[in-house]
Structure 1
Amino acid sequence: MILNLSSEYLKPNSNHLILINQILIQPIPQIGPTCGMVALMMAIQIYKAPPTLNQILEKGKELQLSKNGEIFSIYNLKTLASFYLDCSLEIKDTQDGQSYDNNFINELMNNNLIIMPYDNDKDHRPCLKNGHKSHWALINGLVIILHKDKINNDFLLEYFIQDIQLCNVYFKKSEINLEIGDILQTMDDLYVIALHGKSKNNAIWNYKDFVKSNQNLIEIDHNQRAKLNFETDLILDLKQSLANKYLLLK
């Protein structure tokens, strides 16, 4: 997974540390336009045995939240999630994509999950298509890059375990809660770890690119809109239903 990072960070003599926290989740492939439902299915696995995709699809249709599996509203996704999860479900706003969101980072560093929409490029990386390629991803971890001189060694040993093969890679101890705090001011780079219905592997995306992709969600592709024949304007206005928002599970 971390091999997707810059080779500079992975060199044995690198001056950078790689701090990782990840919840291991079994990937589930989507069938048709069910990326939001599949992201929810993958999250449910952490709490209990998930329902089948067909069961979630039928529930979405029954509640008139979806026609064929597509979900273009984070409010609809939260409603659907509430039928299967007893955990806290909170819709949060993203902050400016130029800066780091302390709350977003702390939640992921403390083993909570985030389901978040973005624009999906040909290689599934975040892109800027005004919502025409909108897709859902489950964020199940973080990768923090910072210079060795910018972190206290006692802090590192208290909260992280060193990888047995890569000496500059550290994994957060799962049983300990961590407030990122001052690390935010000293990070050189930040990546989200993501799963989505179009890949069997974890993806690593630049945090700022991902947030900007989320914030650029404006409208459904015109051809897709005509094909789906939605009746409500709210679903068509992604600025209101998807942009600048994510669903926090904790």
Structure 2
Amino acid sequence: MTSEHPALLPPPPPPPCPALAWPAAPLWPSKKKLYQAIAEGRSAVEGDHEEARLVLVKRESSFRKHLQWVLFNKYVPSLIQDGPQCGLVALWMAAHLLQSPTELSIERIVKVAKERGYTAQGEIFSAHDMALLAEEMCGCRAERLTGGMSGPNFGLILKHLASGKPVLIPYDEDFNHEPCQRRGHRAHWAVASGILLALKEGCLNKEEFQPDPVVPWLLLPGDSPACPMEGIQDAFVLAKQGKSLHYQLLGLEKLAQSNAQLKEMDPKRAADGSVYILPQGGMEVGLAGQVVLLH
């Protein structure tokens, strides 16, 4: 016996989903480095002592108050590097302590460095080449120190920074921009423009210095004080490099150790298919234990 009711039909299939409208381009440029994205839309803190004060206050507990702390610094502007240009960017920053900022562009430095055969991609693996480039670009006298940042060179570096002149320093840069020891695999250039010294009580002629108006335990130089060389218990350099808009306060001893062990180019970089200019004898001959003072 057949049913009088019609057969039930299955429900119709759901309508197709509307096509998703994907953006024509990614929201973040794929080639932009993290440090470039962080710096975008920001500006550096200007002034000889303003940013140093912020660093000191933030790390105040690590500075021993029974010592006398003296800060020398001359402000240099910030510039974020585009590719492996850390040395050329450091030179551009340093140039602002030697001449009018409007007279030299990073594009001009890169162009001349390539024409002279000092670089292929923007890299500088020779302190000797850096000194030659600095003299040509800045019209200054460049003094290349060898044998490390300790011993006799320690005093030369301190006096140079205290006089308001820059020092170009190669070192291995860690992820937080601090010096590390990776045999040169993270070789990087920074420009030091200042020095923070910790002195034993009584080793300073206080008539040549004045208390900082914001950080009362910090002393600033007067018109033309001599750099104190007696009773130094600790030393830091105030430096900038091309991956940050901010000053870094780097322990001089740790920086010297990093500078001394620059032995070889990162094997990954050496095998990336790009051409790089290395001096005869490699990075160890070109960078290890060397800095460049610009007069």
**Shared fold per TM-score greater than 0.5:** yes
Q: Give the superposition deviation at 1:180.
A: 2.7
SS at 2:175 equivalent: coil
Please say if 1:204 is aligned against 2:246. no
Q: 5 Å matches for 1:52-67?
A: 52-67=105-120
Identity %: 24
Retained in 1: the 8 A contact 2:94–2:191?
yes
Please say if 1:151 is aligned against 2:203. yes
In terms of fraction of residues, the more helix-rich structure is 1
The CA RMSD over aligned residues, in Å, is 2.1
Runs of 4+ residues over 6 Å off in structure 1:
none
Which has the larger Rg?
2
Stretches of structure 2 lacking an aligned partner (at least 5 in a row): 1-51
Once the two structures are superposed, what CA deviation does each residue of 1:49-108 show, in whole Å capped at 9, x if it has no partner?
Answer: 242222211111111111111111111112221222122111012446589811111111
Give the distance between the partners of 1:61 and 1:32, measured in 2 at CA: 14
Please say if 1:170 is aligned against 2:224. no
Stretches of structure 1 lacking an aligned partner (at least 5 in a row): none
Match of 2:170 among 114, 117, 133: 117
Which residue of 2 is the match for residue 26 of structure 1?
77
Q: 5 Å matches for 1:1-250?
A: 1=52, 2-3=56-57, 5-9=59-63, 14-46=65-97, 47-48=99-100, 49-95=102-148, 97=150, 101-147=154-200, 149-152=201-204, 155-158=205-208, 160-173=209-222, 175-181=223-229, 183=230, 186-227=231-272, 228-230=274-276, 234=280, 237-250=282-295
In terms of fraction of residues, the more strand-rich structure is 1
Retained in 2: the 8 A contact 1:20–1:172?
yes
What is the TM-score when the length of structure 1 is the normalising length?
0.87
Retained in 2: the 8 A contact 1:41–1:51?
yes
SS at 2:138 equivalent: coil
Query: Whose RCO is larger (CA < 8 A, sep 6+)?
Result: 1
Instruction: Count how many residue pairs are aligned between Structure 1 and Structure 2.
Output: 238
Give the distance between the partners of 2:277 and 2:63, measured in 1 at CA: 50
Give the distance between the partners of 1:233 and 1:23, measured in 2 at CA: 32
